[in-house]
Structure 1
Amino acid sequence: MIRKMRFILFFLFMLLLMTGCWNRRELNDLAIAGAIGIDEAGDQVRVTIQVVNPGEIAKKGGSLRSPVTTYSEQADTGFEALRKLTTIVPRKIYLAHIRVIIIGESLARKGIGPDLELFYRDQELRPDFYVLVAKKTTAENTLRVLTSMDRIPAESLFHSLDTSEKVWAPTSTVNMGELVRGFEGKGKAYVLTGIQVKGDREIGGTSQNVSTSSPPTTLQLSSLSVFRGDKLIGWLDEEESKGYSYITDKVKSTVGYVSCSNGGKVVVEIMRSKAEFKWKTDSIAVRVRVEANAAAQQCKLDLTDPQTISELEKKLSEKIEAIMKKTIFEAQHNMHADIFGFGEAIYRSDPHKWNQLKHNWNDTFSELPVQFDVKATLRYTGTTNKSYLNEIKE
């Protein structure tokens, strides 16, 4: 028995010695990509990668070298273009740390499905990177812009989108896994946030862009792009994008205002929003509940008066409903695209009804009645109930 136990322990010890990372790669052998751009190039695909320069990131002092380098190549397929990049990139391209993939608008209108499939299938990538659309420009131009606050532009874009969705609302984070579910939805179209290059594109890729307190070129998140199938069909404006976020329960916080009856505005901060929609026999019922704070008072009002608070709540409810109705109108009558998932709601509630509607869903969606039930509540009026504006005499 003792001899047998010794053999087992010896065997386990040898296993520990023999274990290792069979596919281990040395950092010095890798070019770590933080972002990928995909563009149309005639009949070919142009792929751009933004590679991190580890030595420059580690330096604490100033440096004349850029913290990232962008490389571009084109081929008949995206996979070929990626491999072709090895002719100009001195190391093996490592994609496991990708933060964003940007699609040029021209390619997006042609169709993104075939060129994105690779990045969903590749076992090296986690499908948690965000997907964006370069508005009125190429993905390559976008990735060449250097950013000042985050030395790695890919990280800057990732965190900007995260923050903007949480506190602004017209933008929406969509990762690769969510995008694939959008492809597979019941009659559902989907949205992706846009990204714009503001300013001089030539300067944006130079050290001049990060050596001043007011960068001449910036990257700005835009409104939402609308896709049906795998093709870009149009853009929502900023207000319509916010309406989409309200309807789909994506508003975490945002800011707006309501007009005062005597002129001026009360600025409100939305602190909580809860939305849901259901299929009700022959229409979609959207229910939204919002809690808000009075963030700033730009008119003469007594916020200690319950009647005043009630009027502001009514106006805020009506304004949110109007924003959502504008979004619904755009989606139904101009886009003819169910970006909200109403088809999924019908399928979950009444699969038999969905089977009747799904074959002509885009036309049916365009005529689908939508009912709203919106209630906003003002919870907090700040550190004072009375503004000094009430004491200012004309």
Structure 2
Amino acid sequence: MKLWKQTAWLLLCIPLLSALLTGCWDDRELNELGITSGSAYDWEDNEWKATFQVINPSSGASGMGGSGGGSTTSPPFITFTVKGRTIMEAIERTNLTSTREMFFSHSRITVLGESVAKHGINQLIDMFLRKQDARETVYVFLSQDGAGDILDQLMQLTKNQGAGIQLMIEQESRLVSYYPGVRLYELAMALASESGSAVLPEIQLTGKQIMDETGETGRTDLPSRLALGKLGVLKGDKLIGWLSQEQAFGLSFMTGKVNSATLAFPSNPKAGDTPDASFVLQNASTTVRPVWDKDHYIMDIRIKGSGVLSELGSAMDLNDRASITGMEQSIEQKVLELVNNSWTEVRQLGADVTGFAVRIHRSDRKRWKTIEQDKSWDSVFRDIEIRPQVSIKIERTGLSNKSFKSVQQK
């Protein structure tokens, strides 16, 4: 009985003792931290040039969509630019110019300058995956000019510029599908995959002037804005080229990254090639099947989609099934052109941003093992032939079965 009481007492004491072991041994006060919403990296004079965008707590809720307290002249964020032989050395040097320690757990974006992308980004990825408070979920962008300039530009309708750029790429990926939103861990996975290649969207300034004063956001139209530009192609860990907007769109179709999109097309190709109609693609899917043909691979790409007709500029009766079929064929031809043009540029760059290597590895392991042993993927990739097939259905024609032009001609 005595032994039982001692055991019960010991069991009661263990939780109490464990409570003494807990505590905020590494706690940091909020007013001691510089909450970083974005970061940018350039390579200059053989050193890392890092720019950090820190939320300014004294800005309150004033300006740029906010209301209430705070100084109307106080910027919503402050930027720090530092240099170092390593990235962490640059980060630590912010303590020489700031009263707050950089805190990265709330970062939304990171921008890589073209100088860094051509130098190599392996070290940067390693830092993000290794540092405890760094976020591997940040969206990554490229800039053809200085990446730090991107973080200085103010945006209308939002105070937190890092969050604003994040919302911009998420909205684009959801509604337009020209560019994929790429998070840092997705970039790392793509570069570490069999393909060894990745893409990153470009963020750019539309004008030469940087709008970095809060009073300038009161204009109805800014002379310089942030906008998505081209699509950067990385092989290994270095930038090797760019895809245009249309080529990036074709790549989205090849890789099944199209969520929703609007396609402009000629409703009657016999009358001319000028687009006069719009089709909103609401559902899309892509399947890719590798086929070995004698001495090279053929990628059987099947793209299916459906949506609604949203604009029509020619005289046409939509009750006539032949008219619908003709427009569907015109849209299919447009998608085929996008895919073929994109593939021509991708193959010329020699970077497997299509993910074909992954698909071949999964479907033809024996031949892939030989390719891997011979280190011949680059030559195999250059010899790949694509065989795209597109099937588009116009499910709805909107609120009218006739175009307004056909009504006018009566």
TM-score, normalised with respect to structure 2 = 0.91
Q: Which residue is equivalent to 2:194?
A: 186
1:325-384 C-alpha deviation (Å, 9 max, x unpaired) = 111111112x11111111111111112212333412222212211111210111111111
Taking the aligned partners of 1:66 and 1:365, their CA distance within structure 2 comes to: 50
Aligned 8 A contact 2:42 2:116 in 1? yes
SS of the equivalent of 1:98 reads coil
Aligned 8 A contact 1:148 1:209 in 2? no
Using a 3 Å threshold, how does the CA distance of structure 1 residues 57 and 348 change in structure 2: closer, same or farther? farther
Counterpart check, 1:370 vs 2:386: yes
1:23 to 15, 23, 26: 26
2:347 to 310, 332, 347: 332
Q: Which residue is equivalent to 2:267?
A: 260
After superposition, the CA RMSD in angstroms is 1.8
Q: Which residue is equivalent to 2:49?
A: 46
Taking the aligned partners of 2:247 and 2:325, their CA distance within structure 1 comes to: 26
Counterpart check, 1:142 vs 2:150: yes
Aligned 8 A contact 2:254 2:339 in 1? yes
* AA in 1 matched with 2:392: A
* AA in 2 matched with 1:353: R
Taking the aligned partners of 1:77 and 1:387, their CA distance within structure 2 comes to: 62
Aligned 8 A contact 2:153 2:225 in 1? yes
Counterpart check, 1:360 vs 2:376: yes
Q: Which moved more, 1:7-16 or 1:355-364?
A: 7-16
Counterpart check, 1:279 vs 2:290: yes
1:220 to 207, 217, 227: 227
Using a 3 Å threshold, how does the CA distance of structure 1 residues 354 and 18 change in structure 2: closer, same or farther? closer
Q: Which residue is equivalent to 1:132?
A: 141
Task: Describe how 1:291-330 pairs up with structure 2 within 5 A.
Answer: 291-330=306-345
Taking the aligned partners of 1:374 and 1:20, their CA distance within structure 2 comes to: 61
Quote the offset at 1:6 in angstroms.
5.2
Using a 3 Å threshold, how does the CA distance of structure 1 residues 247 and 15 change in structure 2: closer, same or farther? same
SS of the equivalent of 2:34 reads strand
Quote the offset at 1:118 in angstroms.
0.7
Aligned 8 A contact 1:145 1:201 in 2? no
Q: Which moved more, 1:159-168 or 1:124-133?
A: 124-133
* AA in 2 matched with 1:78: I
1:219-276 C-alpha deviation (Å, 9 max, x unpaired) = 0011211111111111101110001111111100011122022456221001011012
Q: Which residue is equivalent to 2:171?
A: 163
SS of the equivalent of 1:141 reads helix
Taking the aligned partners of 1:41 and 1:365, their CA distance within structure 2 comes to: 34
SS of the equivalent of 1:281 reads strand
Quote the offset at 1:42 in angstroms.
1.4
TM-score, normalised with respect to structure 1 = 0.94
1:241 to 248, 252, 262: 248
Number of aligned residue pairs: give it.
391
Taking the aligned partners of 1:146 and 1:275, their CA distance within structure 2 comes to: 38
2:100 to 58, 66, 91: 91
1:132-181 C-alpha deviation (Å, 9 max, x unpaired) = 0013x111111110112110110111110010011111111111111111
Taking the aligned partners of 1:356 and 1:181, their CA distance within structure 2 comes to: 23
Q: Which residue is equivalent to 2:65?
A: none
Aligned 8 A contact 2:125 2:188 in 1? no
Give percent identity, aligned residues only. Answer: 25
Quote the offset at 1:201 in angstroms.
3.0
Taking the aligned partners of 1:209 and 1:122, their CA distance within structure 2 comes to: 37
* AA in 1 matched with 2:263: G
